[in-house]
Amino acid sequence: MSRLRIFISSVQKELAAERRAIREFVKHDPLLRRFFDVFLFEDVPASSRRADEVYLAEVDAADVYLGLFGNDYGFEDAQGISPTEREFDRATTQGKTRLAFVKGTDDQLRHPKMRALVRKAGNQLIRRRFSTNPELTAALSASLVEHLFAKGLVQDRPFEEQPCPDATLDDLDARAVAAFVRRAREERQFPLAEGAAMPDVLTHLNLLLNGQPTKAAILLFGRNPQRFLPSAEVRCMHFHGTEIARPVPFYRIFKGNLFDQVDLAHDFVMSKLNRSVGTRTESAQAPVRYEIPSDAVREAIVNAIAHRDYASAAAVQVSVFADRFEVWNPGQLPPPLTPEKLRHPHSSIARNHRVCETLFLARYIEKFGTGTLMMIRECRAHALPEPDFLQRSGEFVTTLWRDWLTEKVILDLQLNGRQATAVAFLRQARKISNREYRNLTGANDRTALRDLSELVAKELLVRSGKTGRSAFYHLAMKPDINPTNPTVTSPAGNPTQTRQLGKAPASSSSESAHARTTVKRKSAINRPNRPSTPIRPALGKGLTTGSMGSSAEESEKGSEMAQMAHAQTRQKPDKPDKAAESDAKKTDAARVQNIERTKRPSAPKPSSARNVPTVPKARKVTASRKGATKGRKGQRSPAPRRKTT
């Protein structure tokens, strides 16, 4: 916004100190310097133009005329009129805002023509007297602030109740107003009838001020609200990873009135979430279930739009990540609300009362402080973590977490009962310790450690902290769908390759070593090399189904992974060697028997000689031999000698 120009008119020599004092005061005042610039004739450089042409042109270009009247009348032209009086008359003719300040209280000391000018000014406007420069600047400050209020540049009203500059009723959409009346009558028994005149509806909603639409009226029913309020928009982004990264795969900016912004942003988010379609057992229409409840998503978006700070230059941002959905809106929580209090019953404190009242009548909000509680309840019902509410540096953030652990993912991980119970617990608690795992599942310490280590090896959990009570296991974030838009980068700056979910590194698991030994044994007996676990495509490329917002790139990569899995399956022999399988089973059984035999005390072995008809009884051990046996405690006793015939 361009600043307003103040033209100071006075006899320069007599009031030179006062002219400089006004310029310095306006220049350093925190409020006035944002709106005003001061013009002094003595600052004009030398020119071939006549002096009267210059100062009269400056009066025409000024927004505020400021007259300082002292004792001297000043230089008189051929008509006997001084420049001070001509400037006053020109400002009067042009209809400028005029402010007059008279120095001193004794009019008898003034020039007769100056006394006449003071009387003429007094008959047309309110003049103020001053004796010192502080009195002059104080009176001037009050007059300039009042001028700012009169022009609507400074408001004592809330932002939404201020008249929208240059806006008229023609800037409002009559169809949007009529649609609102129909919906409000259905939802909240709105008293006005359908077909009511638009000014009557706006007056009933307190959206008109002296016949001019307020900023709330433009936001709710404007044809093009962004013409007057450019930041009143919603920016929606979809990221394949879990962090903001460029390039953004999918980016949309939704404008229009607030009703359109809520609906379009909600549709955008739901189109990017995974969904499952049920059967028609209960109704003619198949039920659809999204991984994040639709009501919770809508509530987060409408809260951001209804309670944002519209005086801010920032916009509402909606981001869909691989593991969560976030909404950012400019503005602070009104006291005494805090992010923690939003998790408990609380009163509804609106920032934009007129906007919230209209959204309430259309049943977009409830105005009872139940929105955040509903979001928490819906997320719990869907076995999701509770939403996160965060206030940071002038903006409020709401986070809803996605459920990437689908039934197919859990099935492919081949978890035992204890691990499945822990995963169900972690979906809401987000972290667990070894002690909590034992209390939850009833496992002992070694079993709990082994189970948790397996979950870490399968990349389902991430361990944080050192050993002991400070060690916790957190539910891992969803791996990146698109490797070109990664979540984590390697030290060299290259994207890290996401490992196949459920497969641990070969050096970190004893089961992997056993699998390699099994493969070697199968190769030795000429058996086909069959993988011990089923082939699974990478997460995001076949593990989850029904993604409405998948891009063409995701679909192509998903089909490539499916083709690779199909190719590996075709390499398997159709009819495995059943004889080789039976031999392998016999070999494994023999090894198990040998291991069990070594654990039991050894029994006397029969002689390896052949053609032995009878086996005589063993000799009795004498007392001396018993003592010798006791002396070699822990050693195997030699087998008794047997006679052969």
Same fold, 4-154 and 234-275+288-401: no
Longest C-alpha distance within the chain, in Å?
164
Question: What CATH fold (topology level) applies to the domain 4-154?
Answer: Rossmann fold (3.40.50)
Give strand ranges (E) for 468-539. 472-475
Q: Residue 86: how many CB atoms within 10 A of its CB?
A: 17
629-633-638 Cα angle (round to 5): 50
Q: Is 400 helix (H, G, I), strand (E, B) or coil?
A: strand
The architecture (CATH level 2) of 407-477 comes to Orthogonal Bundle (1.10)
The pLDDT value recorded for residue 601 is: 52
Q: Which has the closest alpha carbon to 536: 499, 511, 574, 505?
A: 499
Q: At residue 538, does pLDDT exceed 80? A: no
Are the CB atoms for 326 and 318 separated by under 8 Å?
yes
Percent of the chain with pLDDT over 70: 72
> Could you tell me the residue ranges of all domains in the chain?
4-154, 160-227, 234-275+288-401, 407-477
Rounded to whole angstroms, the Cα distance separating 226 from 221 reads 12
Helix, strand, coil % over all residues of the chain, rounded to 5: 45, 15, 45
What is residue 275's predicted lDDT score, i.e. its pLDDT? 83
Return the pLDDT at 484: 38
pLDDT band at 92 (very low <50, low <70, confident <90, very high): very high
- Per-residue confidence (pLDDT) for residue 418, from 0 to 100: 92
Q: Which amino acid is at 397?
A: V
Burial class (CB within 10 angstroms; exposed 0-12, middle 13-18, buried 19+) of 372: buried
User: Would you state the pLDDT for residue 549?
Assistant: 40
CATH 3.30.565.60 fits domain 234-275+288-401:
yes
Q: What percent of the chain has pLDDT over 90?
A: 49
Give the tokens for residue 563. 């083709």
Q: Supply the pLDDT for residue 565.
A: 46
Query: What would the mean pLDDT of 384-404 be, rounded to a whole number?
Result: 89
Q: In what order do the strands lie in the sheet with 461-464?
A: 431-432, 472-475, 461-464
Q: What is the pLDDT of residues 331-374, one digit of tens each?
A: 999 989 999 999 999 999 999 999 999 999 999 999 889 999 99
pLDDT tens sequence across 507-532: 333 344 443 444 344 334 344 443 33
Question: pLDDT grade, residue 544 (50/70/90)?
Answer: very low
Lowest mean pLDDT among 179-193, 257-271, 586-600: 586-600
pLDDT at 277: 79
pLDDT in tens, 281-290: 767 777 788 8
- And the tokens for 95? 């209809």
The structure's pTM equals 0.56
What average pLDDT score do residues 315-336 get? 93
Does pLDDT of 495 surpass 70? no
- The DSSP secondary structure of 172-196, one letter per residue, reads B-HHHHHHHHHHHHHHH--SSPTT-
Task: Tell me the average pLDDT across 170-184.
Answer: 96
**Of the ranges 316-320, 475-479, 587-591, the best mean pLDDT one:** 316-320
Tally of CB atoms within 10 A around 593: 10
The band of 49, judged by pLDDT with boundaries at 50, 70 and 90, is confident
Q: Which residue has the higher pLDDT, 60 or 282?
A: 60
**Rounded CA gap, 259 and 234, in Å?**
12
Q: Give the separation between CA 313 and CA 328, rounded to whole angstroms.
A: 13
Express each pLDDT in 595-627 by its tens digit. 555 555 544 444 444 444 444 454 554 544 444
**Residue with the larger pLDDT of the pair 168 and 590:** 168
Residue carrying the six token digits 């007057």: 228
Q: How far apart are CA 456 and CA 508, in angstroms?
A: 10
Question: How confident is residue 410, by pLDDT bands cut at 50, 70 and 90?
Answer: confident
pLDDT for position 316: 97
Residue 125 DSSP SS3: coil
pLDDT of residue 535: 33
Q: Helix (H) and strand (E) counts for the chain?
A: 20, 18
Give the residue-averaged pLDDT of 151-161.
84
Across the chain, what does the average pLDDT equal? 78
> What mean pLDDT comes out for the span 84-106?
93
Q: Is the pLDDT of residue 194 over 60?
A: yes
Confidence of residue 430 (pLDDT cuts 50, 70, 90): confident
Rg of the chain in Å (alpha carbons): 43
